Structure 1
């Protein structure tokens, strides 16, 4: 069994199901990427895994523990951390205060984790006294990811981490995500830049209409002519 397994998820908003039995998994040290067309249910799947959407069917387990009924805050305590696509920093707080907010559940010394985040994102140490709202889009994403790492998660979930940033910043963020996975954290990521994301993915999920259209390694999905034609633009 995978370290993180969200199996047979069915659910949505009101009476409409957006997820129709999709399954996503990630092991420690892996980067699992969810891609697909707009409206495929990618972000909804992430919210369901994190407990922001109640499932009508399916389950979410982490290291064999059933988290299906837990609230998001309870899932954070179990080892999950989630970076939403928008409104993911406190703009009036400094960079360092944002990182401290990420450690709100911890009762131990957070200084070591803070230095690890600064080691991963050196620009944040340089700007640690600056309000997060004054940073560039790419730097704010670094703050958001850094804050999520302050919980010392075993699973890091990223919803469109490169949305609205330049190609250079996107490449830098992907490099940092690879570094994070190498520490043993399981990374689950939704990404619109599908080709680039699948290039770094250990495993990939192509969703369509809330279900798994294709599931394979990132390399195999990139080589699949039907996936390339239908979802990756040739």
Structure 2
């Protein structure tokens, strides 16, 4: 993908990302590398000038973000990703707005994945801790029954303990067959759970490999992982 916002300069330059079914792909790199921009490009939120986006072999480059949700994509932005005045359960119900079938089974799956949400389902989501809010945001995305779940900085601003718990839950989601594409500042921890890792620098692919390969790469360690 090569592209940017509106008629402005390109931010992404021949950037390539892919994630297989039930696997976790992690995008890491320095601030301003284009990580979140790449995620938004996949979701249809900026202009791609060359290249394209494919889901299950189908070219979806021309589809709106809403149409991509209907095709099986779910996107959890870093901020403003819950309805704070609504209850936890109402947030989850909002995630199923496109569905016309019975959602109770999916709701139970979300509550099994995030037990604390069942306990707090009648509570306003805005009253929850940062980590619990992220669980609501991920849970709401899962209510769409996505093929691909995209997470932009899911552990931003949470404690190391909560980060580890969120990563454990993300692994559980992938085990159900959902593909995870994730941007993450905590690069070392994210690569530890990644099937594939992408290091972006100035909107370009700098390094690509398995999570283990990137963690073992001296250049990646020195430049991006603090040695």
Given candidates 210, 213, 219, the residue that maps to 2:203 is: 210
Secondary structure, counterpart of 1:45 in structure 2: helix
**Equivalent-residue separation in structure 1 for 2:36 and 2:54 (angstroms):** 19
Map of 2:73 onto structure 1: 80
**Equivalent-residue separation in structure 2 for 1:29 and 1:152 (angstroms):** 13
TM-score norm. by structure 2 comes to: 0.99
Given candidates 4, 13, 17, the residue that maps to 1:12 is: 4
For residue 54 of structure 1, report the CA deviation from its aligned partner.
1.7
**Equivalent-residue separation in structure 1 for 2:22 and 2:146 (angstroms):** 12
Task: After superposition, give the CA deviation of every residue in 1:120-156 in whole Å (9 maximum; x if it has no partner).
Answer: 0000000000000000000000000000000000000
**Structure 2 regions of 5+ residues with no counterpart?**
none
Task: After superposition, give the CA deviation of every residue in 1:174-214 in whole Å (9 maximum; x if it has no partner).
Answer: 00000000000000000000000000000000000101000
Q: Is residue 29 from structure 1 mapped to residue 22 from structure 2 by the alignment?
A: yes
Matched length: 226
**Equivalent-residue separation in structure 1 for 2:8 and 2:133 (angstroms):** 36
**Equivalent-residue separation in structure 1 for 2:57 and 2:101 (angstroms):** 26
**Equivalent-residue separation in structure 1 for 2:104 and 2:17 (angstroms):** 34
**Equivalent-residue separation in structure 2 for 1:129 and 1:190 (angstroms):** 31
Map of 1:131 onto structure 2: 124
Q: Is residue 169 from structure 1 mapped to residue 162 from structure 2 by the alignment?
A: yes
For residue 15 of structure 1, report the CA deviation from its aligned partner.
2.3
The more displaced of 14-23 and 27-36 is 14-23
Map of 1:3 onto structure 2: none
TM-score norm. by structure 1 comes to: 0.96
State the Cα RMSD in Å. Answer: 0.5
Q: Is residue 180 from structure 1 mapped to residue 173 from structure 2 by the alignment?
A: yes
Task: After superposition, give the CA deviation of every residue in 1:71-93 in whole Å (9 maximum; x if it has no partner).
Answer: 00000000000000000000000
**Equivalent-residue separation in structure 1 for 2:163 and 2:50 (angstroms):** 35
Map of 1:120 onto structure 2: 113
**Equivalent-residue separation in structure 2 for 1:15 and 1:181 (angstroms):** 36
Map of 1:5 onto structure 2: none
For residue 115 of structure 1, report the CA deviation from its aligned partner.
0.3
**Equivalent-residue separation in structure 2 for 1:54 and 1:114 (angstroms):** 34
**Equivalent-residue separation in structure 2 for 1:173 and 1:52 (angstroms):** 26
**Structure 1 regions of 5+ residues with no counterpart?**
1-8
For residue 16 of structure 1, report the CA deviation from its aligned partner.
1.1
